[in-house]
């Protein structure tokens, strides 16, 4: 874990040597679920303020992610952007993911001088930027953004569990687990379900994947 953390820090340090000013990392959470919003996050660590133990959010326990969430908020500059289900349905999940990260950058309060984005695509913003494939496992600032986005979205889904009891959103966070699929089939979808994707899944044209990366649950 220590070596992974040092590698993340070193990646950002090498980028900072070529960039004058503030370096930011952006990531999103919620591309794969059948329900709920997609959430984007962006993080700037001024100076050497990066908290110890940063890692790709997918490789951290929920408790560790929550701990680091608050450490990142204390030590960094953070922006969060959310795209709701009606917008996802209207513009598709790919565009919604980019929009969520764009909204996060616009909500930062400070304009970064250079932006690292997890994935293969840059954002529609007049900023110098670079897309980094699997960036949450390479860059400290992107890893921090992945933690912020994941924890924020998980909390949002737990809130939806209170609004729409019976779907167990607090447990599966909208992913296509067997429990979630069974509840959809017995109760029908709620307004927070992505109907276009859900229709494809139920028709056997797409896979629903659990947050743990389990086999398809249909």
pLDDT of res. 209: 44
pLDDT of res. 53: 86
Per-residue pLDDT of the chain (218 residues; tens, 9 = 90+): 666 889 999 999 999 999 888 999 999 999 999 999 999 999 999 877 889 888 888 889 999 999 999 999 999 999 999 999 999 999 999 999 999 999 999 999 899 999 999 999 999 999 999 999 999 999 999 999 999 999 999 999 999 999 999 999 999 999 999 999 999 999 999 999 999 988 877 776 444 444 443 333 33
pLDDT of res. 204: 65
pLDDT of res. 94: 97
Q: Three-state SS across the chain?
A: CHHHHHHHHHHHHHHHHHCCCCEEEEEEECCCCCECCEEEEEEECCCCCCCCCCCCHHHCCHHHHHHHHHHHHHHCEEEEEEECHHHHHHHCHHHHHHHHHHHHHHCCCCCCCEEEEECCCCCCCCCCEEEECCHHHCCHHHHHHHHHHHHHHHHHHHHHHHHCCCCCHHHHCCCCCHHHHHHHHHHCCCCCECHHHHHHHHCCCCCCCCCCCCCCCC
pLDDT of res. 2: 66
Q: For 86-101, how does the pLDDT look when each residue is reduced to its tens digit (9 = 90+)?
A: 999 999 999 999 999 9
CATH architecture of 2-158: 2-Layer Sandwich (3.30)
pLDDT of res. 216: 33
């Amino acid at each position: 874990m220590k070596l992974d953390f040092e590698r993340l820090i070193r990646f950002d340090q090498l980028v900072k040597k070529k960039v004058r000013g503030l370096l930011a990392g952006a990531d999103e959470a919620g591309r794969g679920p059948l329900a709920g919003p997609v959430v984007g996050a962006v993080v700037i660590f001024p100076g050497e303020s990066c908290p110890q133990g940063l890692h790709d959010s997918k490789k951290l326990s929920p408790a560790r992610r929550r701990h680091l969430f608050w450490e990142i908020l204390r030590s960094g500059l953070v922006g969060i952007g959310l795209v709701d289900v009606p917008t996802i349905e209207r513009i598709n999940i790919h565009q919604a993911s980019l929009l969520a990260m764009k909204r996060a950058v616009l909500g930062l309060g400070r304009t970064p001088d250079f932006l690292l984005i997890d994935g293969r695509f840059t954002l529609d913003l007049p900023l110098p930027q670079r897309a980094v494939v699997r960036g949450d496992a390479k860059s400290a600032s992107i890893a921090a953004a992945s933690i912020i986005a994941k924890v924020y979205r998980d909390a949002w889904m737990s809130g939806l569990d209170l609004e729409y009891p019976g779907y167990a959103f607090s447990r599966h966070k909208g992913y296509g687990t067997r429990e979630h699929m069974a509840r959809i089939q017995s109760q029908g979808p709620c307004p927070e379900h992505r109907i276009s994707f859900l229709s494809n899944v139920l028709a056997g044209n797409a896979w629903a994947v659990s947050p743990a990366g389990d086999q398809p649950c249909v």
